[in-house]
Amino acid sequence: MPTRRHAQRNEVSATELAEMGFCEKRVQLVHLYGEQAMPEQRKAMARGQMAHQRYLEEGLAATADRRCFVATFVFGPDARETQVLRAYRDAVLLRRRWGRILVAAYYRVAPTGCRIMARSPATVVRVRRILRVVVAWCEWALGDRRAP
């Protein structure tokens, strides 16, 4: 079906052009008789679509992970402290299974924490103090990892 849609507009998709690298004769036959697939090929295509969906979801989750809720709330999105915590998350936590679990659990509770802090400026001051210690430790840990 996509083949016909593209053909009407004299447009080719990258996938259709890629068929040229597999079998040119097949390209000609598809043009003459339309796309046909064996049952196994249909199953493989369905598996491929599912894998692509998962691949996309992983990518979307990763781009959403740029947020660092509490640090962003306390220090600001571009503050040095926020950058350090993000770097620690990417370089250390996300590379370990337990770390990924910890990050995901944190993302579940962090928005609630931010809502509480929004109502209490005194809490923000206390959290900022605690986070500065955490940031210093993360900085030390990152520096230690980068050292030869």
**Which CB atom, from 90 or from 139, has the smaller least distance to another protein?**
90
Q: How far apart are CA 41 and CA 47, in angstroms?
A: 10
Is residue 47 a contact point for another protein (CB under 8 A)?
Answer: yes
Question: Residue 25 is which amino acid?
Answer: K
Residue 112 Cβ vs another protein, minimum distance, rounded to whole Å: 19
CA atoms in the 13 A half-sphere facing the CB of 110? 15
Is residue 94 a contact point for another protein (CB under 8 A)?
Answer: yes
**Helix orientation angle between 80-91 and 121-146, rounded to the nearest 10 degrees:** 50
Site string for another protein, 98-137 (x = CB under 8 A): --xx--x---------------------------------
Using the rule CB under 8 A, which residue among 43, 51, 129, 145 binds another protein? 51
Residue 145 Cβ vs another protein, minimum distance, rounded to whole Å: 13
Contact 85, 134 (CB under 8 A): yes
Query: Which stretches within 19-94 are classed as H helix?
Result: 24-33, 39-64, 69-75, 80-91
**Interface segment toward another protein; rule CB under 8 A; list 6-14, 76-84, 109-117, 135-143:** 6-14
Q: How far apart are CA 6 and CA 92, in angstroms?
A: 46
Structure tokens at 33: 């008789």
Could you list the residues that contact another protein (CB under 8 A)? 6, 9-33, 36-38, 40-41, 44, 47-48, 51-52, 55-56, 58-63, 90, 94-95, 97, 100-101, 104
